[in-house]
Amino acid sequence: MLVLLHLFALFLLVLLGFYVFVANPRSRANQTFAAFIAFLALWTTKDLIFWNFHQENFSAGWWASSSFIIALLMQCALVVFAWVFPENSRTPRKKAAILFAPGLVLIPAALFGLLWNKVGFRGGVFDIELAPLAYAFVVYVYFVFGFGAFILLGKYRKYRGTQKGQQVGAIIWALAITGILKTLANIVFPFFNLYYLLPFSSIFVLPGVLIYAYAISNFKLFSLENALDQFRLFPIAYKIALSIATVAILSFLIFQIPIVYWAFQDGTSFEAWRKFLVFSVISALVPNLLLVLLIVRTISRPLQRITLAAVKVTEGDYGNEVDLRKSNDEIGLLAQSFNEMSRKMASDIEQLQKLNEQLIRTEKLAAMGTLAAGVAHEVNNPLAAISSLIQMMQAKQNLDKKTAENLKLISTQIDRITRVTKDMMDFARVRQAAKSNISINKIIETALRLASFDKSFQKLEIQNNLAENLPEIYADGDQLQQVFLNLLLNARDAMPEGGKLSIKTAQIEKDLQIEIADTGTGIRNSDAKKIFDPFFTTKPAGKGTGLGLAVCYGIITAHGGKIEVSTNNSGGTIFFMALPFREKIS
């Protein structure tokens, strides 16, 4: 019965210490608690060995020595915990050096057996006779214990009324319970030569340890919420520990027990030991290889995939993602975070590229506007003089037919140059926007009415899908009408034999979106990025100056919107515009 209690206590201590440590391994309080649990597990192990497998007339000096030393180390861990909890502060090294200095003398004294005169079993009865130095050791242990309790009492008064105060208060209760039970089992009863509670001293500490762990974990150690949190994020350390424990237990049950039975069924001879050692080594290879496989699958392979994906991202493959099966551990969280980061990086870089293209286009517009204004001004003056001379020559009555035709041709070309310079002046002219609250649907309908006077435009099949109840926007109606009319006429030019023209409007959050799609000749992908550049045109020579879409771009961006072009799935081109919904502030 006693051995089962010791095994249960040892198992519970290891499980509890591991659980609390892994929950927050960077916390000094959790680290110190794990150290305390480790010393307590050593205490339980020595009691398990000594009280369950002792031999008559065998020296118990090792048990007494380890009992004194472990008891002191546990109190040292308690003081360190009191210093760091709950602020997670650092241990004051000078104070620690002074407080723990006597241990440099007392621990060697325990190792060399100077704390007792005799210890062990005599006639099946345990007996110990302590030396005077042992009482000094015990007084020092209780002094360290009391010093730690005193620090915790001060912190309890400091944080009283808060959760930290409740945590410290619970730990003080745990110390009180543990201290009373351990004192009765290890000091009071043995003083009167009553040792029957001594084998249970490691069991008596369990209630205090559970309260201790409960307080550190913010009173969530046994809560359903904490259990669900651990289920959602199951750390790798837990998985590895569970795998090792499972493999070890199965290996023991499947291999070791049959090997022991087979090897020693005829006695403990040399041949039996040889069989046992050889086949134990062979049987150990299987679980070890299984553990290696589990660790590779759990850690190595996922980390390799994450590393390769990271290398690809550094090489410019933004948006590359790790192809891993979802898992609720740190690697799964890392892979998910990496994928989100990669997608966000790709999106941000795409946005930066678009902003860069818009900036370059805006700079081009500004530069070409200045150039266009200067060129138009310089051309118009001599062009006006030439036009006047042509008109004077045409007014003469004695012109021959060939000369009259040449003058008419020259006049036609002058008109063409005049139109080009007018377009250049319109492009270069910065007119103050006359903004007011307008209806975008009415502006589009007006542009359609103006375009419908053109015979070629009348050949088109118009599909209107203008959303109802759109809010008015604060914008320049004439400028927007110029944009829509220009796009409608471009669509007409792209469909000389007729086609379908679709116009849609909608409100998406705080933007009014306009889409104009045609089924014309379309735009090549290589031209899509240059379509809004000044003087770039896909029309034949003499049919366009390449300034219309540049003007449209300037007007839309000046209103804080955006304009984009893409290829229609059914052939043709789609112009997409978004204008921010901002009413005039009254």
pTM for this model (two decimals): 0.54
- pLDDT per residue over 558-568, tens digit each? 888 888 888 87
Say how many residues make up the chain.
Answer: 586
Of 572, 548, 561, 310, the residue nearest 420 (C-alpha): 548
Distance CA 324, CA 311 (A): 16
- pLDDT per residue over 165-188, tens digit each? 888 998 999 899 988 988 998 888
The pLDDT of residue 67 is: 92
The pLDDT of residue 138 is: 93
Of 548, 564, 549, 550, the residue nearest 513 (C-alpha): 564
| Region 132-153 average pLDDT | 94
| Region 222-246 average pLDDT | 60
The pLDDT of residue 24 is: 75
The pLDDT of residue 535 is: 63
Residue 259, pLDDT above cutoff 60:
yes
The pLDDT of residue 374 is: 61
The pLDDT of residue 224 is: 45
> Any idea which of 166-175, 196-205, 260-269, 329-338 has the lowest mean pLDDT?
329-338
The pLDDT of residue 338 is: 84
| Region 408-436 average pLDDT | 68
Give residue 345's Cα distance to chain centre.
Answer: 13
Of 547, 544, 522, 543, the residue nearest 533 (C-alpha): 547
Residue 84, pLDDT above cutoff 60:
yes
Residue 484, pLDDT above cutoff 80:
yes
Residue 586, pLDDT above cutoff 50:
no
The pLDDT of residue 539 is: 60
The pLDDT of residue 427 is: 52
Return the CA Rg of the chain.
Answer: 45
DSSP 250-295: HHIIIIIHHHHHHHHTT-S-HHHHHHHHHHHHHHHHHHHHHHHHHH
| Region 191-204 average pLDDT | 85
The pLDDT of residue 367 is: 59
- Using CA atoms, how far residue 148 sits from 13, 83, 170, in Å, is 22, 8, 14
Is the CB of residue 349 less than 8 Å from the CB of residue 318? yes
- pLDDT per residue over 565-582, tens digit each? 888 777 788 999 999 876
Query: Please, which residues have CB within 8 angstroms of residue 567's CB and are 6 or more apart in sequence?
Result: 522, 523, 525, 528, 573, 574
The pLDDT of residue 101 is: 94
- pLDDT per residue over 303-314, tens digit each? 888 888 888 888
Helix (H, G, I), strand (E, B) or coil at 120: strand
- pLDDT per residue over 440-480, tens digit each? 899 899 888 878 877 888 888 888 888 888 888 888 888 88
Is the CB of residue 140 less than 8 Å from the CB of residue 102? yes
Give residue 387's Cα distance to chain centre.
Answer: 71
> Any idea which of 17-31, 46-60, 373-387 has the lowest mean pLDDT?
373-387
| Average pLDDT of every residue of the chain | 81
Residue 14, pLDDT above cutoff 60:
yes
Residue 222, pLDDT above cutoff 70:
no
- pLDDT per residue over 501-544, tens digit each? 899 999 888 889 999 998 887 877 767 767 777 666 666 555 55
The pLDDT of residue 227 is: 47
Segments in 54-196 forming alpha helices (H): 61-84, 93-100, 103-111, 132-158, 163-183, 189-191
pLDDT band at 152 (very low <50, low <70, confident <90, very high): very high
The pLDDT of residue 74 is: 92
